[in-house]
Amino acid sequence: MVRDGYIYGLSLLAVAAVLAWATGNWAWSIAPALLAVFFLWFFRDPERTIPTGPGLIVSPGDGLVTETVLINTPEGQRQRISIFLSVFDVHVNRSPISGVLTSVRYQKGQYMNALNPDSADQNEQNIATVRGKGQDAGMEVTFKQIAGLLARRIVFNCSEGDTLSRGQRVGLIKFGSRVNVIVPAEAVLHVKKGQRVKGGSSVLASMAELEMAQVASRAYRSASASVRPSEFDGGKP
């Protein structure tokens, strides 16, 4: 159970008890009691079996896959997997791979319906990038926590430089929302549009060790080419 569930749930149960005592009529306590049950259920945080093996990319959250598409980014081509989380889904978010959190960026925005593709760019969101280590070394995955029509708060409990394990809890989005996962173009997708996934346990995509080595090599060459000689040896020829 996420802490917020206890805060909302117990507070509403207290309200229900006060109303029943003050009015002498238990019927007044029905509405807050039902809301308490809803919040306790909504903020549930079930344990998940995390898949093992190199190069696996797991879902950051529960929900419905609404899109899998090849996109162009400043770093080259990538694949984007979009997942819609309704109010009936678990809203705890997890790290898709094991590695180091290299970037975290919060962006204010609107609160469009999370089913609208434009919400991926215009809504409030938190963008996190993890560079793989250990069995996930050689790949980089970015995931966005995107607020929806009802959501008004994104929670992210990690900071840049933190080391994450695959499936580790990293935060949550309150109420209806969306998660976008940006994976390497070379990754083999394991899901398709219309499929339901579970955070931490459903494999979205995978990469073979050879593919990860090739991606890492290209990233290294690109980074080396962008560094001026002066940055290597103080400007000496």
Strand pairing of 203-206 and 56-58?
A: antiparallel
Nearest to 120 by CA among 183, 192, 180: 180
Residue partners of 105: CB distance under 8 A and separation at least 6: 126, 127, 128
- Alpha carbon distance 184, 31 (integer Å): 48
177 belongs to the catalytic site: yes
Q: Catalytic: which of 59, 119, 177, 206?
A: 177
CA dihedral 16, 20, 26, 28 (to 10 degrees): -60
Residues marked as catalytic: 177
